[in-house]
Structure 1
Amino acid sequence: MLRRRNSMFYKLFVSYLVIFMTPLLTLGGIVYYLNVVNYQHEVSEANVTKLTQIRNQIDLELKSLREIVYHLSSELELQQDAAADDKAKLRMMVPQLEAYKEHYPFIDEIMYYRRGDTTVYLTTGAYEYSAFEKGVKGDYDWMGASFFKELNSVSAPKTKRIVEKESALSRSGNVLAFMFPVPLLKSIPQGTVLFTIKESEIMSKFQNFFGNLEAAIFIYDPYYSSLVSLHSNVDFPDAAMLEEQLRMSKGTGVSNVNAGHMSLTVTRMVSEETDWSYIVAMPGSFFYKRVIAMRTLIVCTIIALVTIGLIGAFLLSRRNYRPIKALAAYFKKTDYEQHGGEGGNEFELIRNSFESAVRRNQEMLAQMNAQRPFIKDQCLLTLLKGKSIAADERDYLIKCSNLMLHGDAYFCMALSVHAGEARGYDLGHVVALIENVYFAQDRCYGVEIAGEQYIAIIAVLQEAPADERGRQTEMADQLVRLAKDNLGLQTTVGIGTMYRSLEHVAASYLESTATLLDHRGNERSAIYFFDDIDARQQQIHWFPIKEQALLMQSLKQGDEAVALETLKALLAQMTEVTPSYLMVRCLCFDIVNQIFKLINQMNLHNLSFDMKGLLRFNSLEEFQAGMEMFIVYFCTQVNHYREQQKHQLKNGIITYINEHYKDNDVSLEQIADKFHLSVSFLSRFVKEETGVNFVDYLTGLRIKEVKLQLQHTDKLIQDIVTDVGYLNIPSFVRKFKALEGVTPGQYRQLVGKQ
């Protein structure tokens, strides 16, 4: 669930929902309030207004009853003052009552009773009380003799509800009886006037204002006695409890009442004239029927819009999430996933993966910068040895090494330090000096050659000079002078031929080393050209010095192809310039003699080749065949010997590091001095043999030893760190955490638990 909530799809979906729902719900709330809440308030006000109008109308009708009583009282007083027969006067009461009824149609019946008399006067005529009780009063529960007693004793206006008997033949409904003493304002009334109004008349008033309503209608007198109790199109399961609740309610206006399981909306109004309480109780669903219909419409519209918004948000989220998902899936397929963190969303995975990629790129750049000298040396050695590689591969190697080798002309120089000064001297300083020298637009790059006491230099000229020898002399002379002025060294420089193509750098290198070898006995600073060998050869035309020097140098380098090619050129030149077979034979012996010198110089005394066989030949072809066999064998042995030397050197250096890595003073300079190597050569050699640089290899050994001691000993961490040769403990802890992901203390806890 947490992963789902952290998902970018979930966040996009929620975002779109918030963007869509916020204005929708705000607008929906405003519309709901303006239309539903306000309309509900208007409905309540309208019902209060209708009930007020009904109250006012009933108050007006009750006022009309009082006017009739006042008028009748005045008539009775006039009749009393006149000298006439009382019976005759009372008989005139019937048409008068009938006139009142016709004038006020809401009145059901008007009755006049003179106190002490046994006759009752109605609009239909005068009746003896016994006849009235059996006929007119028979359908209503007038409470027998108490009613007659009440007619004689009423002293103030009184209202009571007369309930229709269940045995009545004609169902006309209950009535309200209004009794007034007449004269009304006299202390001793002479009679009683009774008005009856049917409940159906009151119900018609409510229907006129409320229409075909579903409600219970109640009217209570000031003493909360029920005057009217009507139910229109609605049944209440507990009417008695409802009436009790309504009697207890106070105030006016609209309120809510629960009757059983039914929620009712009650509208209550009190008459200021009579103190009667008018109550209309409707089911809430009927009272707010239009409000509910409007609310249902608005709510359904909002729900429909919300549904559309949900679908739209889902579709938009899925559409916009698709490229994010694809990118996150790509990173999950790679090893960047482990850097993405747990519980993060896709953007965090992408961000962490990108940061990891940038961090790795920076680490790789740092490693490349650290290994750039090694790459540069490898590139230069590849060019000098003439290894056949594709042009694009060669250009890529040059680009990686940051060498600027694009020019119009190239030549090589071999620079050696005089024997007395070279012992124990680091040639890497000379290489660094060369790389920091600028020759106008031209540049020089130097590299140490394994097993040799000279430096090979590639000179790159941006433009081919008209005076090639002059430019070569100028550059070589500047190098000799800088070595003497800055390093105090006496140097000798051999210069090869200048070529226009980078592919011929290897040939120029062989020429420069051959020139240097030809003048190795010179103990003073000097510059020598390979072309000078040609000049000497022209002076001694029968002796091919140039080809012989190239042959010896190629044999020394173990370059079989160049040696075979040089041998053919050498023998061809010998036959061309020297027609004498005896002279050719002497030259062949001289070649063999030079080979013996080379063998002694290289300390290769355990050769199994029949060297004497080289001197036994009867023709130049036999000598050539023997020499070719020797060249193949000798170059193989030279390469094998170099590999052995390299292996022995590797074993010696690696063994020394493995045995002394705990020494706090072990360093690249100290090991280079012990093995009589330059620091730059040793650094390159360790990188070639171990795949990592010296510092990383030394750190790996120390980290491994620390882990073993953390796992198998109880020594303090600072003691372990100092024991493996580290003096700066915080620096080692940071390095340990960078490599292992945990501190030494945490590592000890982890291995302890395991």
Structure 2
Amino acid sequence: MQLVAFQRIYFRNFILFMAVFIIVFLPFIFLITTQFSRYAIEEVDRTAHTKVNEIRDNTEYVLEKLKGYALSMYEDQNIQYWLLGDQSDQLLAVAAMKSQNNFMYNEPFISRTYIINSLSQSVIDSKLGKSAFKDFEDHTILEKVAFNNDMYLSFFNHIVNDTEYLAMIVPTSPNKQEYGYLVLLIDKTKLMNYLFGPNLEETNDVSIFTVDGQRIMGGAFLELDQAIDQSFRSHTESNIDIEFQGDRFYINKAVSDMYDWNFYYANNYGNITQRIQAFKEKLLTFSFLSLGLIAILFFISSRRSLGSLSQLAEKIKDKYGSDLNNKNRISSILSNSEMKLIDRGLEAILTNVEQLNSSIRDHRDLIRSEHLSQWIFQGNLNQKSRHFFMQETKLLHTNYLYLSVIRIDSYLAFCEQYDFNSRKLLKYAIRNISEEILHKQGIAAESLDLGSDHLVLLIGSEEQEPVTLLPQLNDILEHISSITKISVSLAISNATSSQDDLRILYQHIYELTNLKFLSGENHIFMENEYEDFVQSLPATEISPHELIQFIQQGQFEQAIDKLRQQMKVFAGCSYSDCKLNIIHLVYELTKAFNKLNAIQQFKGIHQVLDRFSTLAQLQSWLEDVIREIISEMTIPKVKTRQEKIVHEIHEYIRTHLQDPQLSVERIAEHLSFSISYLRQMHREVTGMTMSDYILTEKIALAKKLLTSTDLTMYEIIERSGFLTKSHFFAAFKKLTGLTPKQYRESQPDIP
């Protein structure tokens, strides 16, 4: 009997749930429909107010544009020649008509134009051609030109052959004696479709009146428009209600001080309220249907979920047999089963909390990386980033800062061995190893993966000499090698501060990691080593930059010729100067192509040079190296390989968006490909140029910052990687059609 009573629990739960649900649900539905009606009416009013002001502004803009266009047309050289020249010269009339047609072709609102010469008593009509006053069909306009001087450069209604136009007379000096005039007849239908919209809702009406009650433009409801204008003459408010033919209209008014016109926007409240009421009825119907569906689903769900407990009870009955009458025992067993469900729920909650914590940590890491990137690429630490590092890290709480670069050796082989995601994980492991070792020693450190062959490590210390950090840095090298099996080079700067330019320092320290080619030994490179290397170079240094340019462009013959020229110059130097010049040449090749496999043999340059007994042997070896470099840079790639390279290009761009010096040349240098090949490959894979992609990504970042932050325009320009304000504004306007300020104002408020 106890199990039968238990099987009815789903029904009691269903009745209780539905009672509570109805008590809460029904008042909520009625409240929401009432609030919706009120909000809909208010929204219609706000929209109407905005719309009438928008129509007024657009009208003023278009008409002023037409004024300027009319003046340009009137001042056209061919038209002026006809007005002032010999009227018997038919070529002047033909030229004037041609200019007249050209101007009309470029302005669709102008339906017809007259060029009137009062001296010769002749008119050039854009529709009918040249004619004398006596033969001209529109005598009304001739009278207005002759006697109504107050109409010059003003818009007024004009009817020709039962068609109503908006007309304007030029020139601009009505009090000056003029003999030539230009009349524009503007197509009202096209103009109203443009200003009011071609699909104006039937519940709305728009009209424009002069201050003396003349309708300039309006819809098909002339009597309604006149009633609206008449009603406002006895009111000073910007919006009123009127009754017209049994319907109630709410009118919004806007005044144009430029033309002394009144703009009216009318909403038929009867139609609007009918639509709102119909929507309320649909909402209520849908709500009750939803309530019924929810009730059915809950009943089925309750029966199904609690039915499993009934099945469990049946199993307990079969298992315990004679003990079924022991009510307490069965109740105890069922209670234990329910506790297990609760326990599983708690486990799910704890899992979600852990996922949330992980998401927060990832978000913090993203923000930290953004601030670090901006600091390194911009060079200087802005106020927001300084506040972040003061609050979230210990870097700025120390006396001295050090910048260290960890560069992955044989990077091209590293890329070929691991796919993109694996490379990111390995570099993430290098970051964690570096930070953990330093943090354990109480040293502040923050690392950053710049999406290239190296990572940047900022270290905060109380010691002024970098040698005090050598034990920890050597420990980092050992752990990276033993854990990740990756060979890296590590260089560290002298002590600096947050006020110094980190960008210049970062470039210098990155270059310092290339000194591994001198001895081939893996140790911590310091700034004084580079200074010693530079001072050891001969005073008459021969620049290898032209040779490197030929190699980057894939021009093998020119590169070999340039190498041979330089080797001839080296041959004329003393032995020590010749050797130093060769070392400098090899060093520059290492810097330019350090990611290629062909360069990896340069480790321990002194040992490499000792293999050759003559300059000719060395020259032959260098020619082979150049051949290998160009071959690696221009080797054809299959489509899947191209897509992987483009993916890496995009990742590099995303991690360097804040760098104002980001360019196609920098990317080609990073990937060790020729610029022309990289451009061609990117266009083939994506359909767009790399320059366009970089600009698009920078503008996308700027749009995100405009809508999701309250940063100043200068800060957004800086974070988006633009060098100048003018470049940013021009690029943003080109891609979005709006200025940054207009774009920010057009978006929802920043949360």
User: TM-score with structure 2 length normalisation?
Assistant: 0.31
User: TM-score with structure 1 length normalisation?
Assistant: 0.31
